[in-house]
Amino acid sequence: MASKSHGVAAELSALKGGDFLSSADVTANQINALFDLATQLKKGDRRIDLGNRVLGLIFTKASTRTRVSFQVAMARLGGQTVDLNPTVTQLGRGEPIEDTARVLSRFCDVLAVRTYAQKELLDYANWSSIPVINALTDLEHPCQALADFFTIKEEFGYLQGKTLAYIGDGNNVSHSLMICGALLGVNVRIGCPAGFEPSSNILNLAKQLLVEGSTIELTNNPVDAVKGANILYTDVWASMGQEDESAIRKKSFKSFCLDKAILSEADPNAIVLHCLPAHRGEEISAEVMDDEASRIFDQAENRLHVQQALLAALLGGL
């Protein structure tokens, strides 16, 4: 019979040379294999040297965690990163993606792209001959979701049957949580104000991927969303690019702050997650961020371990 480590390697080898543009681009087995590798890397039980591979970072939006975790992950894999911020490259002067992507494919081994439209990311993937990773778009944040479910698995030891309640905006983070949760057999409840629901296309995609017996539910009532849940999750009410809607959104989301009262409705052993950056006192109270239920900073750290595993798999360094 094949050993477990052999099974993990086989699952991960299928990812070699591919893109990671959506949470739906990987299977549950591949995600669990990435988690096994990330655990080994985190514990220091495994070292992987990719030998001078280069990751290009094309970030049109601000980033702390994603940028730094990718940089450190590449350094730990014996490679390096180049910062291709569009304001300092010809991208900012309108060089087309079809040309940029083909040129960068001659210099780099993998690209991580953070931008607005998912279509732009798909164009990079289409014109690149190297793997392209979604480092956040308006539609999805799949690297974040991997770290989130890794953190949950670390906490509880398993995922299937757990209930995650996300309260707030039906945004990129909520989309990747729904898809990834559906794949992993985690029940996902989304609680958001009317008019701020997740994309119906993503909701339908997630429903198609649901493991038998698990559920995705949508409500406009934050208390109904969190009742008895094992994981409470929130994110900013105005994402990057929506700054001019901040004031109006604050009014619509007023009853969706993840505070102690909301936390008290969850399972007594519930944990709290937030992808960060957070607005303390808006979508989450400072008290809850610093509560003993919070795993927010472990979650941030896990971006590094999971992305290191992802890079190793996409670059075939196993």
Nearest distance from residue 148's CB to ligand CP, in Å? 10
Q: Total residues at the site for ligand NVA (CB under 6 A)?
A: 9
Instruction: Tell me which of ligand NVA, ligand CP, none is bound by residue 64, counting a contact when its beta carbon lies within the kind-specific cut-off of 5 to 8 angstroms.
Output: ligand CP
Residues within the interface to ligand CP (CB under 6 A): 63-67, 136, 144, 275-277
- Pick the closer one to ligand NVA by CB: 36 or 282: 282
Q: Is the dihedral of CA 166, 20, 302, 35 positive or negative?
A: positive
- Pick the closer one to ligand CP by CB: 12 or 180: 180
Q: Which residues in 285-312 are b (16+ Cβ under 10 Å) and which e?
A: beebbeeebbbbeebbbbbbbbbbbbbb
Nearest distance from residue 224's CB to ligand CP, in Å? 27
CA gap 212, 259 in Å, rounded: 33
CA gap 149, 181 in Å, rounded: 8
141 carries an active-site annotation: yes
303 carries an active-site annotation: yes
What is the per-residue binding string for ligand NVA in 162-181, x denoting contact by CB under 6 A?
Answer: ---------xxx--------
Instruction: Choose which of 9, 28, 211, 240 interacts with ligand NVA (CB under 6 A).
Output: 240
Residue 286: phi and psi, rounded to 5, are: -60, -35
**For residue 272, what are the β-bridge partners?**
232, 294
From the number of C-beta atoms within 10 Å of its C-beta (0-12, 13-18, 19+), residue 275 rates as buried
Question: For residue 288, which amino acid is it?
Answer: V
114 carries an active-site annotation: yes
235 carries an active-site annotation: yes
- Pick the closer one to ligand CP by CB: 63 or 100: 63
DSSP class of 140: -
Chain positions 4 to 33 lying near ligand NVA, rule: CB under 6 A, are none
Determine the angle formed by the axes of helices 28-43 and 296-314, rounding to 10 degrees: 110
Residue nearest to ligand NVA (CB): 239
Chain positions 88 to 127 lying near ligand NVA, rule: CB under 6 A, are none
Give the interface with ligand NVA as residue ranges (CB under 6 A).
136, 171-173, 235-236, 239-240, 275
